[in-house]
């Protein structure tokens, strides 16, 4: 009987120990072009995820869309901050003046052709939105719900004020953190 008890303990140990460190060392990489708009939004998302989930998040900067999407294809990033104008270019389509129409088209095409999932857009004139790889969505299933709290709290007017602060030499990370604290998101 002691032998069976011992074997059950060893079996449980072998089953649960590898699972416990499966998340250790995992980092969610957010890829963005080097522009203040995306940097501010990426900082907000990064801080929100880090503070609310404890997950490590790093922002990677790319010189252009081609470099950014190559990183996505190679699995180097799990999320990007994209806008509808650039997304239409990536899809080889002309700019769409109706942002809702553009968003719905892009959302469908990205999922079907690029294996990327567009979440609800943030406030901002160019209709920015977080975009996740399907793998990231599988690994972090609560991410859309968490990020939606930010998208709901951020309208065009607020975003314009935050962006103005960044343009006047405030650090994007500080502006993002102050805003998230003020909105009680962190």
For strands 128-133 and 27-33, give the pairing.
Answer: unpaired
CA-nearest of 40, 61, 32, 33 to 167 is 40
pTM of the full predicted structure? 0.82
Helix and strand numbers (H, E) in the chain are 9, 5
The answer to whether the CB of 185 falls within 8 A of the CB of 149 is yes
- Summarised one tens digit per residue, pLDDT across range 2-13 is 555 544 454 444
Mean pLDDT of the chain: 86
- Summarised one tens digit per residue, pLDDT across range 124-179 is 756 899 999 999 999 999 999 999 999 888 988 998 899 998 888 889 999 999 99
Query: Distance between CA 133 and CA 114 in Å, rounded?
Result: 9
Q: What is the pLDDT of residue 173?
A: 93
Task: Please report which confidence band the pLDDT of residue 106 belongs to, taking 50, 70 and 90 as the band edges.
Answer: very high
DSSP code per residue over 84-152: HHHHHHHTT----S-HHHHHHHHHHHIIIII-EEE-PPPSSTT-EEEEEEHHHHHH-TTHHHHHHHHHH
CATH superfamily of 27-83+114-176: Periplasmic binding protein-like II (3.40.190.10)
Least confident of 21-35, 37-51, 131-145: 21-35
Q: What is the pLDDT of residue 3?
A: 57
Contacts of 134 (CB under 8 A, 6+ apart): 115, 116, 117
Task: Please report which confidence band the pLDDT of residue 122 belongs to, taking 50, 70 and 90 as the band edges.
Answer: confident
- Summarised one tens digit per residue, pLDDT across range 68-105 is 999 999 999 999 999 999 999 999 999 988 988 999 99
Scored b (16 or more CB within 10 A) or e, 93-108 reads eeebeeeeebbebbbe
Task: Please report which confidence band the pLDDT of residue 35 belongs to, taking 50, 70 and 90 as the band edges.
Answer: confident
């Amino acid at each position: 009987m002691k032998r069976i008890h011992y074997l059950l303990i060893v079996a449980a140990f072998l089953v649960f120990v590898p699972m416990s460190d499966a998340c250790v060392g995992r980092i969610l990489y957010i890829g963005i072009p080097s522009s203040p708009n995306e940097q501010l939004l990426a900082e907000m998302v990064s801080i929100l995820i880090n503070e609310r989930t404890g997950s490590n998040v790093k922002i990677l900067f790319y010189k252009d869309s081609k470099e950014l999407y190559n990183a996505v294809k190679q699995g180097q990033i799990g999320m990007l901050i994209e806008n509808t104008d650039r997304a239409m270019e990536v899809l080889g389509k002309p700019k769409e003046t109706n942002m809702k129409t553009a968003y719905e088209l892009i959302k469908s095409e990205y999922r079907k052709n690029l294996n990327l999932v567009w979440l609800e857009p943030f406030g901002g004139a160019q209709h920015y939105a977080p975009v996740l790889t399907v793998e990231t969505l599988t690994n972090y299933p609560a991410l859309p719900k968490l990020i939606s709290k930010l998208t709901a709290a951020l309208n065009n007017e607020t975003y314009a004020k935050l962006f103005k602060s960044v343009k006047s030499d405030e650090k994007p990370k500080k502006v993002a953190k102050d805003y998230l604290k003020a909105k009680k998101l962190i």
